[in-house]
């Protein structure tokens, strides 16, 4: 069910949604989700280049 929602959002809209809606947790603690996502993408690109 969540997968379907994410697929509908698409590759561009999902990071925008995260940036807009999930910068703070429910108790107002910064999530750093964009920074974590960027670091993960950078790691995956490096992995692809090494294979």
pLDDT in tens, 26-51: 999 988 877 777 776 765 666 677 76
The structure's pTM equals 0.41
Q: 15 and 33 in contact (C-beta within 8 Å)?
A: no
pLDDT of residue 20 exceeding 70 = yes
Residue 30, beta-bridge partner list? 24
Are the CB atoms for 11 and 21 separated by under 8 Å? no
Beta strands per DSSP E along 1-51: none
In the chain, what are the domain boundaries? 11-50
6-16 pLDDT, tens digit each = 888 777 787 78
């Amino acid at each position: 069910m969540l997968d379907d929602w994410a697929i509908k959002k698409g590759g561009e809209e999902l990071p925008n949604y995260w940036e807009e809606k999930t910068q703070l947790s429910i108790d107002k603690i910064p999530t750093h989700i964009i920074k974590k996502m960027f670091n993960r993408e950078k790691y995956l690109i490096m992995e692809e280049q090494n294979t």
